[in-house]
């Protein structure tokens, strides 16, 4: 299913006005159920819906594995053995999350700097190039991208690539997540609950995102652009940077979002 459509618009360049057909992202609202009980309403792009449901349940810390997922229209039914009590909170981005500390990640995965740059180069999608209106995430294992998602919401891109791994029995502890979006605490919580130990983003984090990454054992890499990146937490998973890494090198590598 396409997640964009052409809409009529007027393009203005200087004194020239042209009628065009412009690619515009589609967003819709989906009802998510967990074990036949209403769980959440999610605004997302209308594709990878089974992955979205599976990933949401695990990334919000409600289960470790998924038994089954059924999609009917805008209803997503997820079945799983729950591991936590549901206590909702409204996140600052307008999404609905589940309150509580995420699990601690203890994966021993280590990657080198070239893999950081490789992941960043893989993030942009055809949909982003056509519309400019979506976030993108990729999931990589052994240096190869195994799942890619584009969505109007950055949280949903993570849910979808994680959901793909869950439904295909892929060990998330051996995967690296690449994102276009910011990495505040809500995003880091999803990463940790999924058991992913390294997240690489083109964008910034926040102080709460960095603190949660430190506490949950997530290696947080941001501002990955061109030939540079900034590591905010658990740099030991990026080979070759720990011996020379100090406060000065951390701050000097940061650039504006």
Chain segment 125-184, per-residue pLDDT in tens: 788 888 888 899 999 999 899 999 999 999 999 999 999 999 999 999 999 999 999 999
Quick one: which of 36, 26, 25 has its CA closest to 72?
36
For the chain, what percent of residues have pLDDT higher than 90? 74
**Sign of the CA dihedral with 67 first, then 80, 215, and 221 last:** positive
Q: Rounded mean pLDDT of the chain?
A: 88
Range 114-123 average pLDDT: 93
- In the chain the domains, ranked by start, together with CATH numbers, are 28-98 (3.10.20.10), 113-252 (3.40.140.10)
pTM here is: 0.87
- Kindly indicate the confidence band of residue 249, based on its pLDDT and cuts at 50, 70 and 90: very low
Q: Give first-to-last CA distance, the chain, whole Å.
A: 32
Residue 257: the pLDDT is 39
Check whether 254 has a pLDDT greater than 90.
no
* 223-236 pLDDT per residue, tens: 999 899 999 999 99
Burial 112-122 (b: 16+ CB within 10 A, else e): eeebbbbbbee
Check whether 96 has a pLDDT greater than 70.
no
Residue 99: the pLDDT is 54
Residue 92: the pLDDT is 44
* Integer Cα distance of 210 and 183 in angstroms: 8
Check whether 252 has a pLDDT greater than 60.
no
Range 89-115 average pLDDT: 74
* 14-31 pLDDT per residue, tens: 999 999 899 999 999 999
For the chain, what percent of residues have pLDDT higher than 70? 88
Among the residue ranges 54-58, 165-169, 251-255, the one predicted with the least confidence is: 251-255
Check whether 248 has a pLDDT greater than 90.
no
- Kindly indicate the confidence band of residue 200, based on its pLDDT and cuts at 50, 70 and 90: very high
Check whether 83 has a pLDDT greater than 90.
no
DSSP codes of every residue in 4-70: EEEEEEEEEETTEEEEEEEEEE--EEEEEEETTEEEEEEEE-SS-HHHHHHHHHHHTTSBSS--EEE
């Amino acid at each position: 299913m396409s997640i964009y459509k052409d809409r009529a618009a007027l393009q203005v360049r200087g004194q020239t006005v042209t009628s065009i057909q412009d690619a515009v992202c589609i967003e819709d609202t989906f009802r998510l159920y967990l074990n036949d009980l209403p769980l959440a309403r999610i605004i997302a792009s209308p594709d990878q819906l089974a992955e979205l449901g599976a990933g949401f349940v695990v990334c919000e810390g409600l289960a470790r594995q998924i038994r089954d997922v059924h999609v009917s229209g805008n209803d997503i039914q997820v079945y799983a053995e729950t591991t936590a009590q549901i206590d909702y909170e409204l996140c600052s981005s307008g999404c609905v999350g589940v309150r509580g500390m995420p699990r601690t990640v203890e994966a021993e995965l280590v990657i080198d700097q070239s893999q950081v740059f490789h992941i960043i180069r893989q993030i942009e999608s055809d949909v982003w190039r056509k519309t400019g209106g979506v976030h993108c995430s990729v999931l990589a294992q052994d240096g190869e991208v195994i799942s890619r998602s584009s969505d109007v919401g950055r949280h949903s891109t993570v849910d979808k690539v994680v959901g793909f791994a869950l439904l295909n029995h892929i060990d998330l502890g051996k995967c690296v997540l690449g994102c276009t979006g910011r990495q505040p605490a809500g995003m880091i919580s999803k990463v940790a609950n999924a058991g992913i130990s390294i997240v690489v983003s083109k964008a910034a984090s926040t102080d709460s995102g960095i603190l949660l990454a430190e506490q949950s054992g997530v290696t947080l890499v941001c501002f990955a652009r061109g030939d540079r990146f900034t590591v905010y937490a658990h740099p030991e998973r990026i080979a070759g940077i720990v011996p020379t890494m100090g406060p000065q090198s951390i701050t000097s590598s940061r650039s504006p979002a």
